[in-house]
Amino acid sequence: MTGNRTGVWLVGARGSVATTAVAGAAALRAGVLPPTGLVTALPDFAGIDLPALDDLVFGGHDVVVSHPAKRAELLTRAGVLPSGVAGLVVDDLIAADAEVRPGAHADAPDPQWAVVERLAADISDFRRRNGLRRVLVVNVAATEPPVVPHAAHADWSALEVELGRGVVLPPSSLYACAAFLAGCGFVDFTPSTGARLPALHQLAVERGAPYAGSDGKTGETLVKSVLASLFTRRALRVRSWSGTNLLGGGDGANLADADRAAAKAASKAVVLERLLGHPVEGGVHIHHVEDLGEWKTAWDHIGFEGFLGVRMTMQFTWQGCDSALAAPLVLDLARLLCLADGGGPVPELGFFFKDPLGVVEHGLEAQYAALVRWARR
Amino acid sequence: MTGNRTGVWLVGARGSVATTAVAGAAALRAGVLPPTGLVTALPDFAGIDLPALDDLVFGGHDVVVSHPAKRAELLTRAGVLPSGVAGLVVDDLIAADAEVRPGAHADAPDPQWAVVERLAADISDFRRRNGLRRVLVVNVAATEPPVVPHAAHADWSALEVELGRGVVLPPSSLYACAAFLAGCGFVDFTPSTGARLPALHQLAVERGAPYAGSDGKTGETLVKSVLASLFTRRALRVRSWSGTNLLGGGDGANLADADRAAAKAASKAVVLERLLGHPVEGGVHIHHVEDLGEWKTAWDHIGFEGFLGVRMTMQFTWQGCDSALAAPLVLDLARLLCLADGGGPVPELGFFFKDPLGVVEHGLEAQYAALVRWARR
Amino acid sequence: MTGNRTGVWLVGARGSVATTAVAGAAALRAGVLPPTGLVTALPDFAGIDLPALDDLVFGGHDVVVSHPAKRAELLTRAGVLPSGVAGLVVDDLIAADAEVRPGAHADAPDPQWAVVERLAADISDFRRRNGLRRVLVVNVAATEPPVVPHAAHADWSALEVELGRGVVLPPSSLYACAAFLAGCGFVDFTPSTGARLPALHQLAVERGAPYAGSDGKTGETLVKSVLASLFTRRALRVRSWSGTNLLGGGDGANLADADRAAAKAASKAVVLERLLGHPVEGGVHIHHVEDLGEWKTAWDHIGFEGFLGVRMTMQFTWQGCDSALAAPLVLDLARLLCLADGGGPVPELGFFFKDPLGVVEHGLEAQYAALVRWARR
Amino acid sequence: MTGNRTGVWLVGARGSVATTAVAGAAALRAGVLPPTGLVTALPDFAGIDLPALDDLVFGGHDVVVSHPAKRAELLTRAGVLPSGVAGLVVDDLIAADAEVRPGAHADAPDPQWAVVERLAADISDFRRRNGLRRVLVVNVAATEPPVVPHAAHADWSALEVELGRGVVLPPSSLYACAAFLAGCGFVDFTPSTGARLPALHQLAVERGAPYAGSDGKTGETLVKSVLASLFTRRALRVRSWSGTNLLGGGDGANLADADRAAAKAASKAVVLERLLGHPVEGGVHIHHVEDLGEWKTAWDHIGFEGFLGVRMTMQFTWQGCDSALAAPLVLDLARLLCLADGGGPVPELGFFFKDPLGVVEHGLEAQYAALVRWARR
């Protein structure tokens, strides 16, 4: 084990976000592009003892097999990777792909304890094999439906018993469990259950494993988290805020499944009420438009009331590339989680999430200030 | 002089903003509407010794004569006053109108010293006649063209001499000068020159008169001042930010005059560079659309770059009622200026302005924090 | 019976559309406003023997009771009637309201034959009482869920028997049936079933009663029906067209009921495929935003492909007042249906509908040309 | 001379539009892409004796020199050519580039007769060298400032004399003149003067040379030409229509020159008045945003009035790739101009232009019908 070499173990390692993160880290190391979109490259984070991009080593779990060069080509065609970058980073993608192990299926055969042990062993082997000082596990797999409640979710010793008997956890929680058993930090970049069960919280604290989540804030919710203060600071009353999200490709298809969309919409809805201080009608609607591919377009319509009750309107359209927005944050989170002391949630990382764990602040400015204060402490 | 009775002397007292402010204060006093849009009614300002709305007495200068009931009716038709309010507040409008004195014309006969003395006397008479503890002067008149530079602008003693000789100041500066001579605070809610001349600054400091400005932040720039942090905090690079403002009625017609539009656009342009930390192409364009009346619509198109240089886009449309957005801030500023100690600019009021005096911060959250800290000190 | 006096029998006579139609006809008769929005007032319809607005007499059915002056006041507050108009037209509203009879409930007691007879008698009495040359029935009631299929819908003699036995028709079809039995034309301005059953078609033909429908084209679909030709005429390929409709008040609440929304969305979906010549992904989504009241906002996002497959985007936002868009078309349809010869559907009235009966053309220009040709024949 | 081989002589042959047209024709010939965006490939034009894409041979004039492979690469990076196409078509681009001759400079030395003769000889040589049945000249060079009027513009014999004496025509008119002298048809895809001088019209008629123009309708105006009928056919009154165009790259920089923008805006303004039947306030504004490159974004805000004067709003945003929208129309126009009989303007080609010559119809549907009728006559 030498210096600050840090493993980034990506759950969903062959998906677009993971591939973009690995390709991007390689491109930045090669010095061909500036670190746009990478929060930890901002001057506020200068001088903090974070692992350098050169220190990051990638591996992960996935339930599918695909060729890294092919993935890079598809991302290039979709406009996620600039032309020329794929050729430059293909060796890094191949190296990372060689560190990918088979993931956990939702319908894997019982009992789950064997699965968790195998996942944890994959992570530990990766660490040992690459002489890494630490490994952080980041879930960038597809969004799961909400978890079916189970009594054993409340307590680690009960859960340990149940895992030995059958199926009690969704895949995202198996990964969180494996990460903690391997003594690694865990980040949930999706709205899936992940570490958000009392039993897994106990385990994390016990093993000294930090965790953060949930659901990366990369688009419509990000806009909300700055825009809301316009209304609250100026005493303008928001009467309705209706959001429509057109999502393409993988994420869109996945969220077209009503159950999963429910998980996503719930994680988005809470934000607005917290930001504005009162419930507001309108809702968030997610529609799948295959043709948009890696891109998403959000349209929000805000009806508000000013002096003497005059009604006014604001609308915005956000046309973003999902993987390009998420990937640098994956690198940021892996780097920043290295700064955590001890086990349990790290509320100061709430800046990155739609549904921050352990904290109620959703305003981006306040979240950023808390993050910098924590990182520089 | 009793209690906290405070005069609000409005330059442009028969315009839409002034009329809406007087009508709104009366409606709020009558308890028929909640104080939406009034920043000083937010919980953060509770317990601070501000004059109550009941303590405010209105008067002002204007170059035109019009009947207050007629103005209220026009504002009702334009959707600025809710139906029913005009009838309720017409007595207050008539009372305020009785305190309006003839304003200063740009092409008034030389020399200007006599004009300034007369304007100052109008303010002092208003104070005495109504037994006011203090008077604050707020400029809500039409935007002027940029001032023609003059050597005497640099020094009060030189300016005093020149005022006795001829025409050396634009009207907005005559009002600022008169306010200071009468020992009153001055707020410039427009981008006109107002108090922004070294000579007038000297006078304000000498007479212990506070001042604040410039150019109320009520629409497109307000949005920018929250939205920019989305890009800076997430290390996204804004490559272009193009703003188009469609303005109706008075303000629009006035700004269709290229000179005045230049003043407005300049005050808007500086904001973005300060917020983003670098110049950005695009510009702000103002177009007059008579038919929009009291309403304005801004459309902004933002081209930005994310991870690996991927280009993305955000657009917003703001459909606001200008007078309804500005009027409560006029009341806020008059109330808050009462808290100022001594003469000179009050940078903590920068929250309200596109081009805040004496401070470089343009981010709304930081401005709000500074304002609350100052008000509660 | 004298001259061209024509009865307009409104199903949903106390709703917003009906009230606006009656108020508007009165205001136009009074000569205080130009006939904006009234297609039959265009020069292309000059010289055609249509009943004048002065010839129209209003009555109708409704399941609720409400005071006409109160309704006029609410429409004024909502911005549908200009201030001043309500006072001018209140006598006309009261007169029309005196001609309103209790409507048919979906859950009325069996059998339905008695209901139909009573509805038809209401219409015939109205005609006799007012000495009308003819009566046209226009359904502007709330949208119904899709009809439950029944074998008797296929044949009038079977239906006649079943109506004597129990519940076999939704309310909209009871009204259509009553209209035909009374020898009157019928217009369905909603997507409800109305006359669209083979049995009722037989009855209409037999009684010489013309009918038209379905679902007034007043917003998003209206835009589609002109915009689509941009893409087809220029050989640009539309790849996705996603529509979001935010609806307030009555219509929105009603369509929040998933069944009824299904009826509406189906009527909207067919349009695009017909206009473009191929199916296109995206869909139409309807969301209820109570706060929008009488207003609706539609946002459409169109992804299209140009030369060499280059992807481009168009978006539009439509902010319309539903009742103000629908009401003049109700007057137009009543006037134009007077020109129909014999019984059955009038495809040339397809210009007014999202889902035109008896014709596949959805393009507005072609529909308008067909309408004018027919009216002037 | 064999079969239907047709020369397309592009003025501005090394610009983006010309390069995209040549590359696109080659890609379509190679059968790798469908003919999206090519109007003459629509079924309505099947069976008409147009030159096939295989029959087209490209050449042209340009005032700059650049390498075709380099241009193809830049267009690929800008997203105008799909990745992979450049490699496929580079030989065709090189072949076309070999047929490019030096263009005419605005500040060329007097007199212009020699220039015109040389330009005409270039075209005739191209025709002879390639054994072409005919050559069509298409101006896709940068927009010129409005022409300075000259008495000789009114009459060809006067103009012929003046051309022998000095500078009397802008470059676009020199090209039109050369085309006519060489007996070739001329298309002006820009708003420059081109053939629009009585003297050149005389020459065209005399030489039997057809011509068409002006200013390709590819974006905001194209949308207007379908959208306007929504308002006129429904008797809705448009009160304001404000357009903002953000243009990047070459065209944007060029139009940032106020004179040239004036030419463009004038050609855009007339459309709306013709479409709506009355003047409407608002205007068209063109702003240069270098960063947009080959892309343009138009935002239009339309304020309209419905029944009883209710005010409503429509907005649209058009995000298009200029060269990809223009290039197929260049091919269409070259093919269709082959169908013209005799000399003079071809009003039936008005479908393609913002400012159609010889016709007042601006509605796209009517224009399309006229085009098809003419082509199939």
For the segment C66-104, what is each residue's pLDDT rounded down to a tens digit?
Answer: 999 999 999 998 999 988 899 999 999 999 999 999 999
Q: Is residue D15 part of a domain?
A: yes
Which DSSP string do the residues of C207-255 spell out, in sequence order?
A: HT-EEEESSB--SHHHHHHHHHHHHHHTTPEEEEEEEEEEE-HHHHHHH
The model's confidence at residue C166, banded by pLDDT at 50, 70 and 90, is: very high
pLDDT at res. A255: 66
- A18: amino acid identity, one letter: A
Q: Is residue B253 located within the same domain as residue B283?
A: yes
Q: Is residue B295 located within the same domain as residue B370?
A: no
- Domain end position, chosen among D322, D344, D366: D322
How many whole angstroms separate alpha carbon C302 and alpha carbon C185?
39
Domain count, chain B: 2
Q: Is residue D229 located within the same domain as residue D345?
A: no
Give me the interface pTM, i.e. the ipTM: 0.95
Please give, rounded to a whole number of angstroms, the shortest distance from the CA of B87 to a CA of chain D.
Answer: 24
Q: Is residue A230 located within the same domain as residue A120?
A: no
Please give, rounded to a whole number of angstroms, the shortest distance from the CA of D206 to a CA of chain B.
Answer: 47
pLDDT at res. A1: 42
Q: Is residue D93 located within the same domain as residue D30?
A: yes
Q: What is the pLDDT of residues B319-349, one digit of tens each?
A: 999 999 999 999 999 999 999 999 999 999 9
Which among B76, B83, B317 has the least Cβ separation from residue C77?
A: B83
- Domain end position, chosen among C282, C302, C320: C320
Are D230 and C80 an interchain contact pair (Cβ–Cβ within 8 Å)? no
Mean per-residue pLDDT of chain C: 94
Contact by Cβ (8 Å): B276, B238: yes
Are A281 and C289 an interchain contact pair (Cβ–Cβ within 8 Å)? yes
**What percent of chain D has pLDDT above 70?**
94
φ, ψ for residue D252, nearest 5 deg: -65, -45
Kind of pairing, strands C237-247 and D281-288? unpaired
Q: Is residue C198 located within the same domain as residue C251?
A: no
Q: What is the pLDDT of residues D168-221, one digit of tens each?
A: 999 999 999 999 999 999 999 999 999 999 999 999 999 999 999 999 999 999
Contact by Cβ (8 Å): A152, A159: yes
How many whole angstroms separate alpha carbon C371 and alpha carbon C335?
13
Are C325 and D306 an interchain contact pair (Cβ–Cβ within 8 Å)? yes
Write out the residues of chain B at the interface with chain C, using a CB-CB cutoff of 8 A: 76-77, 79, 83, 317
Which among C76, C83, C317 has the least Cβ separation from residue B77?
A: C83
How many whole angstroms separate alpha carbon D369 and alpha carbon D365?
6
Burial of residue D85 (CB within 10 Å: 0-12, 13-18, 19+) is buried
- Domain end position, chosen among A321, A338, A355: A321
Q: Is residue C57 located within the same domain as residue C178?
A: yes
Chains in touch with A (≥3 Cβ pairs < 8 A): B, C, D
Of the candidates B195, B239, B251, B207, which has an alpha carbon nearest to the alpha carbon of residue B16? B251
Mean per-residue pLDDT of chain B: 94
Are A308 and B36 an interchain contact pair (Cβ–Cβ within 8 Å)? yes
Q: Is residue D314 located within the same domain as residue D349?
A: no
From B41, which residue of chain A is nearest by alpha-carbon distance? A235
Q: Is residue D109 located within the same domain as residue D243?
A: no
Burial D326-338 (b: 16+ CB within 10 A, else e): bbbbbbbbbbbbb
- With a cut of 50, which residues of chain A have pLDDT below it? 1
Q: Is residue A1 part of a domain?
A: no
Q: Which domain holds residue C359?
A: 6-215+325-375
Burial A339-376 (b: 16+ CB within 10 A, else e): bbeebbbbbbbbbbbbbbbebebbbbbbbbbbbbebbe
Q: Is residue D276 part of a domain?
A: yes
Q: Is residue C232 part of a domain?
A: yes
The model's confidence at residue D1, banded by pLDDT at 50, 70 and 90, is: very low
Question: Which residues of chain D are within 8 Å of residue C43 when distances are taken between CB atoms?
Answer: none
pLDDT at res. B255: 66
Supply the CATH number for residue A139's domain.
3.40.50.720
The model's confidence at residue D252, banded by pLDDT at 50, 70 and 90, is: low
pLDDT at res. C32: 87
Residue B259: pLDDT above 80? no
Q: Is residue D281 located within the same domain as residue D363?
A: no
Residue D357: pLDDT above 90? yes
Q: What letter does residue A22 receive in the DSSP assignment?
A: H
Please give, rounded to a whole number of angstroms, the shortest distance from the CA of D354 to a CA of chain A.
Answer: 29
Taking residues D107-135, report their average pLDDT.
94
Q: Is residue D1 part of a domain?
A: no
Q: Is residue B227 located within the same domain as residue B250?
A: yes
Q: Is residue C309 part of a domain?
A: yes
pLDDT at res. C249: 76
Question: Which residues of chain C are within 8 Å of residue A313 when distances are taken between CB atoms?
Answer: 319
From A324, which residue of chain B is nearest by alpha-carbon distance? B307
Which among C37, C225, C310 has the least Cβ separation from residue D306?
A: C37
Q: Is residue C1 part of a domain?
A: no
pLDDT at res. B1: 42
Q: Is residue D317 located within the same domain as residue D329?
A: no
Are A316 and B316 an interchain contact pair (Cβ–Cβ within 8 Å)? yes
Q: What letter does residue A150 receive in the DSSP assignment?
A: -
Taking residues D265-290, report their average pLDDT.
87
How many whole angstroms separate alpha carbon B220 and alpha carbon B203?
34
Beta-carbon contacts below 8 Å between A and D: 7
Of the candidates A289, A282, A332, which has an alpha carbon nearest to the alpha carbon of residue A36? A332
- D258: amino acid identity, one letter: A
Supply the CATH number for residue B301's domain.
3.30.360.10
